[in-house]
Structure formats: C-alpha cells, structure tokens
Amino acid sequence: MPFLIALAVLVIEFTPAHFIYTGPLLTAVPALAGVTMGPKGTTAAAALALAISVATATYNAAWGSLQVYTNFLALGLVSVAGFISSSTVQARRQRELDQVRRIAVAAQDVVLRPVPGRLGPVLAGSLCLAAGTGARVGGDLYEAVQTQHGVRMIVGDVRGKGLSAVRAVAAALGAFREAVHYDDDLVEVMNRCAAALRRQVAVPGAYGQEVLLEGFTTALIAQVPDEPVVQLINRGHPPPLLLHEGRATPLVPAVPSPPLGLEDLAPGLVVKVENYPFVPGDRLLLYTDGVIEARNPDGEFFALPEIMEGMPAHTTPAEFLEQLHQALIRHTGGDLADDVAMILADRLGSEPRTPPGGAGAG
C-alpha cells in the first residue's frame, strides 16, 4: 500500500492532474510502512517519498515556497516516527517469537526425548530432524525403553505434517511408553499404539472445531532380549538395516503388513513377530523414509546401506549418527524434503540384566 500511494502521487504530479495537493499523500507513505513493514521497509518507503518530493518540487519549480519546506518537515517527522514504531513492533514480535520457541523446545523434549546411551544389552543413540521448520518434531516418532522383557524400540512416520501429525506422534508414543512395561506380547504393544491412533481420528481443537488426524502411520517395533537376536514387527515401515561384519542388510519382513490405520485393506490380518540374529558387535539402524528418500540436486536417492558400510567401525552410536547426519546434509545440500528420525543400537556381549532404573531400583 505505501508504494501504491507513492505511485499514485507520481501519476498525479507528472500529469495534468498535478493541481491536486499531494503532500498529505506522501506523508502517509512512511506512516503506513511503519505499521505494515519492518525498519528496512520503512526506511525504503521514506527514501522513496523523499525522492518523489524532490522530483515534484523540481518539476513544478516550487523550490523556495513555504509549502515545499512544510511538506519536507512533515515527511521527515513522520518517517522518524514510523521507523521508531516499526523497530519497536519488530523487537516485541521477536521477543514473543523467542518465547514461543522456548516453549516449543520444552514441549518437544517431552514428546521426542533423546534415548539413553546405555540400555541393557545395547548402546544406543538417536537423531531427529524436522524438514524445513527448524523444529525437532514433525511427523516422525521414536523411542527406546529398557523393560523386563528386553530393550524395546519404536520408529514411526505419521502421514502429514503440522499440528495433526504432532498429535498423532504424542498419541502413539504415549501408548508405546505405557504398554512396553506391561505387555509380554510384542504384537499387543503394536496393537496398543494402533488403538491410540484410532482414538485420535478426531480430537477437539480450538474454538470447538474438530482437528482431523492423518490417515495412517507406518511403524516398526524392535525388541532386543538377552539372547543374541532382535525381534521385529513391521507395519509398512522401511526395513531396519543390520550392519554385520561390515555389510548392511535390510531386515525385510517375510509377510508385509499394512501401516497402522489401514487394517481394513488387509482382512484377516495376522501380525507376527520375526526373529533375526543380532550378535555382539552388530549394529542395528532403525530409520524413517526421510533418510532413504532424500535426494541430491541430480535427483539421486541417499544410498544408506553403502554409506553405513563405508563409515568407521569403532565409533559410538552418537558419533555414528552424527557422521550419518553430515553425509545426509552433504547429499541434499542441507535441504531436507522430509522429516528424519533414526535410532542406532550396538549389540554388546551377554551380561546379567539390570532392572529398569538401575541396580538399586526397587
């Protein structure tokens, strides 16, 4: 609007309509800019208004008249006031934004917290990146918990983004964190997560509106007992990678199962636990499709198995994930198109189980 007013003044002053008094119109240019634009925009609008005033005064041979100097004085005062106003508004908005971000980070730490570095028979690490938002919570979810049944981990991907995806992530993780401690059957843990998502198909939003959650969620649950195996349930999720003696192998389910929320597409669905060898020295990577679907500028996908095989063997899970993160950034040029979540578990040697909460728990 400020620049449209400036254009209108130019049209009036340099056409036969120049008999119209345009001083108040030019004064409105920095005033409106101070309300609708930042300090830089206000400065640009004031400079443009000043340039137009000089040009019109010269064109109309009005230099020396009291009206011209009055217009310049009014324009200068309004420009200064507009600049101060826009600077104050911008500073206040920045403070409010910083406060919102601090609250968001605290909430994110509750929803997606880093996994502990040691969980029973495994060393673990986690990484989560939300695409294009600067936040850490998107549609991806992960968790790892030590229980009396072994170490139980989940990685999932909610279809969609935004608030509805975050609601679904919170529902699934809440169900998982509760069920892993009480359900012996790993299938029942997955069923609890599915039930929690079904209950959240429509939840109350602001002002009484309904907020519809997304249609389905891919999920993978892994259990690492004391025995040298890993037990998996895969509901439409990318298969985890097992790094054994320098070779990365995808643990593809024998019978594919649909994602959570799409059970109607598979009548008579029977979900089973599948066992795979997981011996000391092995590495298990659980991840979301944002990793393997990341593209470089030439459209090539991120070669996750090859990247894993080429990484140094003697690194901690945190170091390994950081190197994987850097490789992903280099591949995409820092432009992630989808959320990314990963859990890395290193299998240790056999040892007596430590109860959750430490040796002194209970």
**How far apart are alpha carbons 82 and 91 in whole angstroms?**
14
Q: How many residues does the chain have?
A: 362
**How far apart are alpha carbons 289 and 329 in whole angstroms?**
15
Does residue 10 share a domain with residue 66? yes
Does residue 229 share a domain with residue 141? yes
Does residue 160 share a domain with residue 98? no
213 phi and psi angles, rounded to 5 deg:
-80, 165
Does residue 241 share a domain with residue 326? yes
pLDDT one-digit tens code per residue, 288-345: 998 999 998 888 999 999 999 999 888 999 999 999 999 998 998 877 777 889 999 9
pLDDT one-digit tens code per residue, 98-151: 776 666 566 666 677 889 999 999 999 999 876 655 455 567 899 999 999 999
Does residue 333 share a domain with residue 207? yes
Q: Is residue 353, in this structure, part of any structural domain at all?
A: no
Taking the alpha carbons at both ends of the chain, their separation in whole angstroms is 69
Confidence band of 51 (pLDDT split at 50, 70, 90): confident
Does residue 129 share a domain with residue 73? no
- Which residue has better confidence, 152 or 167? 152
Q: Is residue 248, in this structure, part of any structural domain at all?
A: yes
Does residue 328 share a domain with residue 297? yes
Q: Is residue 355, in this structure, part of any structural domain at all?
A: no
Q: Is residue 191, in this structure, part of any structural domain at all?
A: yes
User: 218: domain CATH number?
Assistant: 3.60.40.10
Q: Which of 35, 69, 103 is the last residue of a domain?
A: 103
**How far apart are alpha carbons 154 and 194 in whole angstroms?**
13
Is the pLDDT at 353 greater than 60? The verdict is no
Provide the residue type at 357 as one letter.
Answer: G
CA distances in angstroms from 196 to 49, 55, 169, 200, 260, listed in the order given: 60, 69, 10, 7, 10
Q: Is residue 247, in this structure, part of any structural domain at all?
A: yes
Which region among 89-103, 161-175, 205-219, 264-278 has the lowest average model confidence (pLDDT)? 205-219
Given a contact cutoff of 8 angstroms between Cβ atoms, the answer to whether 12 and 59 are in contact is: no
| Closest alpha carbon to 210 in 199, 218, 221, 202 | 202
Q: Is residue 50, in this structure, part of any structural domain at all?
A: yes
Given a contact cutoff of 8 angstroms between Cβ atoms, the answer to whether 287 and 251 are in contact is: no
Over the chain, what is the mean pLDDT?
80
SS3 category, 201: coil
Give the count of domains, the chain: 2
Q: Strands 340-347 and 247-250: what pairing?
A: unpaired
Residues of 174-190 as b/e, b for ≥16 C-beta within 10 angstroms?
ebbeebbeebeebeebb
Q: Report how far Cα 196 is from the mean position of its chain's Cα atoms.
A: 22
CA distances in angstroms from 99 to 90, 92, 96, 130, listed in the order given: 14, 11, 5, 20
Q: What is the pLDDT of residue 354?
A: 45
Does residue 91 share a domain with residue 211? no
Q: Which of 103, 120, 154 is the last residue of a domain?
A: 103
Does residue 183 share a domain with residue 40? no
Does residue 91 share a domain with residue 63? yes
Confidence band of 32 (pLDDT split at 50, 70, 90): low
Expressed as residue numbers, the domain containing 25 is 2-103
Does residue 30 share a domain with residue 167? no
Q: Is residue 153, in this structure, part of any structural domain at all?
A: yes
**How far apart are alpha carbons 29 and 13 in whole angstroms?**
16
SS3 category, 320: helix
- Which residue has better confidence, 14 or 211? 14
Taking residues 162-167, report their average pLDDT. Answer: 76
Q: Which of 80, 103, 126 is the last residue of a domain?
A: 103
Residues of 276-303 as b/e, b for ≥16 C-beta within 10 angstroms?
bebeeebbbbbbbbbbbebeeeeeeebe
Does residue 58 share a domain with residue 120? no
Q: Is residue 240, in this structure, part of any structural domain at all?
A: yes
